[in-house]
Amino acid sequence: MKKINMLIYLLLFFIPYTNLNSQPLITKSVIKIYTVYDSYSYDNPWQMSGQSKGTGSGCIIDKERILTNAHVVSNSTFIQVKKAGEAKRYTAKVLSISHESDLAILSVSDPSFFIGTQPLQIGDLPEIRDKVAVYGFPTGGEEMSITEGIVSRIEQRNYAHSSANLLACQIDAAINPGNSGGPVMIGDKIVGVAFQSAMRGENIGYMVPAPIIKHFLHDIEDGKYDGFPELGIKFQKMENPDIREKYNLAEDQSGVLITGILIDSPAKNILMVNDVILAVDGTDVENDGTIEFRPGERTSMIFLIQKKYINDNITLSILRNGKVMNKTIKLTVPMNSTRLVPFEKYDTPPTYYITGGLVFVPLTKNYLLEWGNQWFFTAPSELLTLYQKGIRTPERKQVILLSKVLADEINLGYHDIDNIIIKSVNGNLISSIEDLIEAVENNQKEFHEFEDIDGNKIVLKRDKVLKYSQRILDTYKITSDRSEDLKKQK
């Protein structure tokens, strides 16, 4: 199975369900998935990391589609599937994928694969203490496994695959590698997809719940995936009575305080810092930032935003300077796009630019993962701080690193430099890697000067860089001085 950080993806897996009459129907639609994948190297971004193999689970849904986890098929180069109880494998491909919600749809071109199957239907969000059955193919055998558990908690949770904070259901059931992507059933309806387990604690597993599955399936009906929307604000709780008094909340009012409006936010010029959000689409927000989504059940107010689709409108009731008002916002920005340091990306080549043997990259979680499973403790602290707390501004839309120096005679003296944050190039402040490229390629002075955030400088003669950059690329078997995405902007 694929290596997973923090939480283990393998997963879930519970089973025998009390409605035994539905099992024959379900088992004919449960799928084992075999993947070959090759991840990109972010340490050497011009090459791949090397081929690996993994397995997972899935199920057939309507329109001859297979529903599974995104992490089962991410970075895949070859996919095969087989039905429970059969030996023949069929070639499959990814039709749609949502890394945020860890869901994917596969297709099989051979129509004979679907003979004798019946698509499973998506049900509704289960109740706490509902008994569920989880179907899949954990390691330890080739045949399908069925385990059983109950829904023990429903709340917003960070998904290990994407770091996105979305609704999830906790299930008390045994966790086994290989069950990722398997259907979690109540009767003959899918109420979730098994996707991750906790590293600490016993019998703690999680499923992507039916509302998130339905959101994904509805999103891709037009043939493209847009994602879950984001409001693009920072806010804090108002549980202390003094802060509520300071911002003029009455005894019967509650809400959260807006502390920041991000540069890409669709709420820019509509909401203001120090506004208090009282309600979202008519649902009251408590002082701890939660809303009641069902009687007696609460979760974060962002759940109401994530129920929407890109370009939907949402109405917030706010308190501004003691006055209640309603503000309608068009949700145009997908979640996590406002981050300074992006969460982990899949199926996307890394961005890089090389000049004079200096390798420049934007800081991403993928880059931090090059420090291994304990990256959160072993990566440079200044980079971890930016990952955790960095905010995009007009002056800094990306963190640009000099990741390494490809040793050559022209960059002598700089060979040991790595992982430094670039502040300016040739006197120009750098907000993005495009800024860095422009500052290098438009420079007509005798020297190139790269300055880091501590004021240290790397100086190279411009004519040497022009003359010997290709020699360095050839020495290190690098076919291009920049990634494909930057070639399009050249």
Which positions are catalytic? 71, 102, 180
DSSP class of residue 462? H
Token output for 174: 């045994």
Whose tokens are 């989504």? That residue is 293
Contact of 145 with 84, CB cutoff 8 Å: no
- What residue type is assigned to position 189 of the chain? K
Phi, psi of 353 (to 5 degrees): -145, 135
Neighbours of 14 (CB within 10 A): 31
Contact of 79 with 95, CB cutoff 8 Å: no
Token output for 121: 């239907």
- Pairwise CA distance, residues 41 & 47, whole Å: 6
Among residues 50, 56, 104, which one has the least CA distance to residue 77? 50
HSE on the CB side for 402, CA within 13 Å? 26
Cβ neighbours of residue 310 under 8 Å, at least 6 residues apart? 226, 227, 229, 331, 332, 334
Question: What pairing do the DSSP bridges indicate for beta strands 189-197 and 121-122?
Answer: parallel
Beta bridge partners of 192: 209
- Pairwise CA distance, residues 451 & 430, whole Å: 10
Contact of 388 with 381, CB cutoff 8 Å: no
- What residue type is assigned to position 321 of the chain? N
What are the distances in angstroms from CA 376 to CA 114, 338, 342, 373? Answer: 44, 21, 15, 8
Question: What pairing do the DSSP bridges indicate for beta strands 276-280 and 290-294?
Answer: unpaired
- Pairwise CA distance, residues 123 & 121, whole Å: 6
Among residues 55, 54, 50, which one has the least CA distance to residue 38? 50
Q: Transcribe 470-481 into DSSP letters.
A: HHHHHHTT-S-S
Phi, psi of 22 (to 5 degrees): -85, -15
Q: Transcribe 97-135 into DSSP letters.
A: EETTTTEEEEEES-GGGGTT--PPEE--PPPTT-EEEEE
119-145: buried (b, 16+ CB within 10 Å) or exposed (e) per residue? bbebbebbeeeeebbbbbbbeeeeebb
